[in-house]
């Protein structure tokens, strides 16, 4: 990516502090035409003051019309082109449940499925097997041992699980075993390069052992694996941006992605925004950059609960003084994507963004933090990958380009 | 660059006239939160009228967060991707003091430095040698003659000078001799390709001769050279845009860059905006495109003098009737980058832009020329490299793309 070339060339060490406060799925929509969005409806006196002092805009996570998953959306926030830098599905699924995927490991997503007497798939999700039943089946699979590699298998939800192989000489160059269709048999694991040969052979041994264990199951009598992936070896914050970065998050997925870009993942007590801000205050002197992740905005959006989502935003606003007492140089408040309660899902809409960096930002006429104000903001609409360069510039951490 | 392919294909000859009026470093910031910017504070009745009739926007010189130097910023204004098209530092430094760098020439930036008895650098800027003393030393270096090449050496400012070699078979493929650190000796000039061998050898002969001359100096007893560069062979306006273009500028740097893209650099009396407009009126029938450069907006911004910068803008506005009497088809008024007096330096902020092309442009609701209005303008925020295609389109000089 050309911009990392620029960042590597221009980013400088400094003493300024940057906070990136992400309310997951922040962007919203009115429940009825002409109504307010969740963010507009929330009472946010602190954010509104920051909005009137700062500059607003709308960030686009991936591209026009594209609704992102959490992985690519956070990569974009962190400045990584989410099309170019791809965290594999297996790794993301592992991160989502707090399973580590180290530099030498290979992770895959697993699905239980139902096959008939001929081994042909009749249900790709094993009847969406109940989570408690699936977890019990996963327990049995933990007995599988392969020579020379550790096999970690962990249940995710319903018919889904994760398999991580750990050992020497592994490679993620292995094709999915999921034929993506009912009426076909699961495929054997096939290497897509010579590097993947050993791993494919091990995976096939593991599948064969699993098949024996599953033979007696009524629904989950077979499985498929896909998204074989390892550490994507992303450039690190310290190298690209010259930032020592901390991640203050509660959910494993976000800790996982933050770790991949070189942030130091924090352990702390509690799980509220207030707890997160309190921890940030404690580590304030140790880092240059702080990523704070607030999950429930997204969760309540997915629930379709407009009022509850607005309340989460209000809880963040209420806790904000702890953060603002810290004499930060740059604060960016935004989401990784929109999750309108109206749609009960991630959406493609651009995401409200507030940039506050006293006396450094372009003035606009916006007076409060909300979608309609952000449309008129001084930052306009821009790719989320611009957020980090903007943060660095406003923190006085980017040298001039050219003479 | 993909766009030049489009421009080469679609640009047509015509009788319309385009004026690009650049107030260097035009973009600004309020000195105190909520205050006006320089451009907003300036009384600009003519620009405000044009703004109300025309379309406003904000242009981004390089990329989000990037503060550009004058070279890349002007390349972008002229439509050249400033990352792809790089004018070397040596050439830019030469241009800055009006030294020509022809197609076969190689230019380098020079720094006087101080070395100890072992030849190790103790001060990379020779104590920021006073300009008069440095100029006297440069005079002595003019005595150096090399066989087969002309050596032009010219003082720039303080410890800085320019060396230009002119002759056959020269190449800019030569590494910096500046070790970029105190405690190291200057490096010999080394070729980075076989083409650079002859030049590196000549440079080393020149350095050896210079070292003898400098031996008696207390501070400037050695020198380093960097940014070896030649003519970047940029595509020319006549070929890319089908435009016969004139440059009306006072400062050498801008004349140099304009010449590189094929503009004809004008000589004229005086140095005020009024003088520039008066000259433009005289050559009106001879060209299609006119680049007018006003420097003092940037200089007063660098000084941190908000009021003086606003006054420069007012002087341009006052002189504008001369320009507007000329029945121009397209007028673009903008800057190459922002130089807020508040920051006393070039900055990354997007630059106010006014497009006036009667009855051809998208209408917006803006009523005056200033940052806050430009945020709401019909052109939105866009890369500076879009300016030339927009200018050509509004001048009726771009054919339709495709059937």
β partners of residue B225: B110
CB contact under 8 A, A362 and B375: yes
Q: Using only C-alpha atoms, what is the Rg of chain B?
A: 23
For chain B, which residues make up each domain, given as ranges? 2-84+234-394, 91-229
pLDDT tens digits, A281-340: 999 999 999 999 999 999 999 999 999 999 999 999 999 999 999 999 999 999 999 999
Closest CA to B360 of B401, B330, B325: B330
Is the separation of the CB atoms in B297 and B312 below 8 Å?
yes
pLDDT tens digits, A284-297: 999 999 999 999 99
Asked if the A2-83+234-394 domain carries CATH number 3.40.720.10, the reply is: yes
A362 touches chain B (CB under 8 A): yes
Q: Provide the pLDDT confidence category of residue A2 given band limits of 50, 70 and 90.
A: low
Is the separation of the CB atoms in B107 and B230 below 8 Å?
yes
Is the model's pLDDT at A86 over the cut of 60?
Answer: yes
CB contact under 8 A, A401 and B67: yes
Q: Provide the pLDDT confidence category of residue A1 given band limits of 50, 70 and 90.
A: very low
Residues of A in contact with B37 (CB under 8 A): 363
What is the distance between the alpha carbons of residues A96 and A90, in angstroms, rounded to a whole number? 10
pLDDT tens digits, A366-376: 999 999 999 99
β partners of residue B123: B114
pLDDT tens digits, B243-288: 999 999 999 999 999 999 999 999 999 999 999 999 999 999 999 9
What is the distance between the alpha carbons of residues B11 and B384, in angstroms, rounded to a whole number? 18
Closest CA to A220 of A117, A134, A154: A134
What is the distance between the alpha carbons of residues B34 and A364, in angstroms, rounded to a whole number? 9
How are beta strands A245-248 and A264-265 bridged, if at all? Answer: parallel
Is the model's pLDDT at A403 over the cut of 90?
Answer: no
CB pairs under 8 A between A and B: 100
Mean pLDDT of chain B: 95
Residue range B2-84+234-394, CATH number: 3.40.720.10
In the sheet that A18-23 helps form, which strands lie side by side, from edge to edge? A264-265, A245-248, A289-294, A18-23, A330-334, A351-356, A55-60, A381-383
Q: Provide the pLDDT confidence category of residue B218 given band limits of 50, 70 and 90.
A: very high
Q: Which residue has the tokens 């807020």?
A: B340
Q: What is the pLDDT of residue A35?
A: 98
Is the separation of the CB atoms in A391 and A330 below 8 Å?
yes
CB contact under 8 A, A6 and B37: no
Closest CA to A152 of A114, A115, A106, A189: A106
DSSP H stretches of helix in A227-305? 237-240, 252-260, 273-283, 296-303
A364 touches chain B (CB under 8 A): yes
Residue in B29, B72, B380 nearest the CB of A401 = B72
Residues of A in contact with B63 (CB under 8 A): 3, 6, 386, 389
Closest CA to B375 of A302, A223, A61, A382: A382
Q: Provide the pLDDT confidence category of residue B1 given band limits of 50, 70 and 90.
A: very low
The complex's ipTM works out to 0.90
Which structure tokens are listed for B338? 């922002």
What is the distance between the alpha carbons of residues B179 and B263, in angstroms, rounded to a whole number? 37
Residue in A2, A360, A382 nearest the CB of B64 = A382
The helix (run of H) or strand (run of E) holding residue A185 is: none
SS (H, E, C) chain B: CHHHHHHHHHECCCCCCEEEEEECCEECCCCCCCCCCHHHHCCCHHHHHHHHHCEEEEEECCCCCCCECHHHHHHHHCCCCCCCCCCCHHHHHHHHCCCCCCCCCEEEEEEEEEECCCCCEEECCCCCCCHHHHHHHHHHHCCCCECCEEEEEEEEECCEEEEEEEECCCCCCECCCCCCCCCCCCCCCCECCHHHHHHHHHHHHHHHHHHHHHCCCCCCCEEEEEEEECCCCCCCHHHHCCCCEEEECCCHHHHHHHHHCCCEECCCCCCCHHHHHHHHHHCHHHCCEEEEEECHHHHHHHHCCHHHHHHHHHHHHHHHHHHHCCCCCEEEEECCCECCCCCCCCECCCEEEEEECCCCCCCCCCCCCCHHHHHCCCCCEEEHHHHHHHHHHHCCCECCCCC
What is the distance between the alpha carbons of residues B379 and A270, in angstroms, rounded to a whole number? 47
Q: Provide the pLDDT confidence category of residue B86 given band limits of 50, 70 and 90.
A: confident
The helix (run of H) or strand (run of E) holding residue A400 is: none
B185 touches chain A (CB under 8 A): no
Q: What is the pLDDT of residue B128?
A: 87
Taken in order B219, B225, B227, B228, the sign of the CA dihedral is positive
Q: What is the pLDDT of residue B8?
A: 95
pLDDT tens digits, B233-249: 999 999 999 999 999 99
What is the distance between the alpha carbons of residues A50 and B232, in angstroms, rounded to a whole number? 46
Q: Taking residues B77-89, what's their average pLDDT?
A: 93
Residue in B65, B82, B342 nearest the CB of A393 = B65
pLDDT tens digits, B131-177: 999 999 999 999 999 999 999 999 999 999 999 999 999 999 999 99
Q: What is the pLDDT of residue B403?
A: 80
Which structure tokens are listed for A268? 């702390």
For A209, left (φ over 0), alpha (ψ -120 to 50), or beta? alpha
What b-and-e string marks burial along B142-176, b requiring 16 or more CB atoms within 10 Å of the CB? Answer: eebeeeebebbbbbbebbbbbbbbbbeebbbbbbb
Mutate one of A53, A385, A400 to test the B interface: name it (highest B CB count within 10 A): A400
What is the distance between the alpha carbons of residues A211 and A208, in angstroms, rounded to a whole number? 5
What is the distance between the alpha carbons of residues A379 and A353, in angstroms, rounded to a whole number? 9
Burial class of A200 by CB neighbour count within 10 A (0 to 12, 13 to 18, 19+)? buried
Is the model's pLDDT at A234 over the cut of 50?
Answer: yes
How are beta strands A289-294 and B55-60 bridged, if at all? Answer: unpaired
Q: Provide the pLDDT confidence category of residue A3 given band limits of 50, 70 and 90.
A: low
Is the separation of the CB atoms in A86 and A80 below 8 Å?
no
A53 touches chain B (CB under 8 A): yes
* Among chain A residues, CA nearest to B62: A401
Which structure tokens are listed for A40? 């507009």
What is the distance between the alpha carbons of residues B95 and A255, in angstroms, rounded to a whole number? 51
Residue in B65, B73, B375 nearest the CB of A378 = B375
Is the model's pLDDT at B2 over the cut of 80?
Answer: no
Give Cα A371 distance to the centre of its chain.
22
What is the distance between the alpha carbons of residues B212 and A256, in angstroms, rounded to a whole number? 61
Residues of A in contact with B91 (CB under 8 A): none
Q: Which residue would you say has higher pLDDT here, B360 or A348?
A: A348
Q: What is the pLDDT of residue A359?
A: 80
pLDDT tens digits, B324-345: 999 999 999 999 999 999 999 9
B381 touches chain A (CB under 8 A): yes
Q: Which residue has the tokens 């450094």?
A: A360
């Amino acid at each position: 990516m050309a911009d990392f070339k620029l960042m590597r060339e221009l980013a400088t060490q400094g003493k300024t502090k940057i906070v990136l406060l992400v309310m997951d799925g922040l962007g919203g929509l009115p429940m009825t035409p002409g109504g307010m969005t969740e963010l507009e409806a929330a009472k946010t006196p602190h954010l509104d003051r920051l909005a009137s002092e700062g500059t607003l805009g709308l960030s686009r996570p991936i591209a026009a019309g594209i609704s992102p998953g959490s992985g690519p959306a956070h990569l974009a926030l962190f400045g990584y082109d989410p099309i170019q830098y791809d965290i594999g599905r297996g790794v993301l699924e592992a991160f989502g449940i707090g399973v580590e995927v180290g530099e030498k490991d290979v992770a895959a997503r697993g699905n239980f499925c139902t096959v008939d007497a001929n081994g042909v798939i009749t249900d790709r999700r094993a009847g969406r097997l109940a989570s408690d039943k699936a977890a019990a089946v996963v327990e049995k699979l933990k007995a599988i041992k392969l020579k020379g590699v550790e096999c970690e298998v962990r249940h995710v939800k319903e018919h889904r699980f994760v398999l991580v192989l750990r050992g020497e000489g592994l490679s993620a160059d292995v094709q999915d075993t999921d034929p993506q269709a009912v009426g076909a048999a699961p495929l054997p694991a096939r290497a897509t390069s010579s590097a993947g040969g050993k791993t494919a052979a091990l995976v096939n041994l593991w599948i064969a052992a699993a098949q024996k264990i599953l033979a007696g199951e009524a629904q989950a009598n077979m499985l498929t694996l896909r998204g074989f992936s390892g550490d994507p070896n992303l450039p690190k914050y310290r190298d690209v941006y010259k930032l020592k970065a901390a991640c203050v998050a509660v959910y494993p997925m976000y800790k996982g992605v933050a770790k991949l870009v070189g942030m130091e993942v924090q352990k702390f007590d509690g799980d509220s925004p207030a707890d997160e801000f309190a921890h940030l205050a404690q580590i304030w002197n140790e880092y240059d950059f702080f990523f704070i992740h607030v999950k429930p905005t997204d969760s309540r959006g997915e629930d379709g609960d407009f009022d509850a989502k607005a309340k989460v935003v209000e809880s963040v606003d209420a806790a904000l003084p702890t953060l603002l007492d810290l004499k930060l140089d740059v604060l960016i408040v935004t989401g990784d994507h929109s999750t309108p309660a109206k749609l009960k899902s991630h959406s493609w809409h651009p995401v409200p963004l507030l940039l506050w960096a006293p006396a450094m930002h372009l003035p606009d006429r916006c007076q409060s933090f909300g979608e309609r104000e952000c449309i008129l903001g001084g930052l306009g609409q821009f790719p989320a990958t611009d957020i980090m360069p903007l943060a660095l510039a406003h923190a006085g951490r980017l040298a001039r380009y050219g003479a």
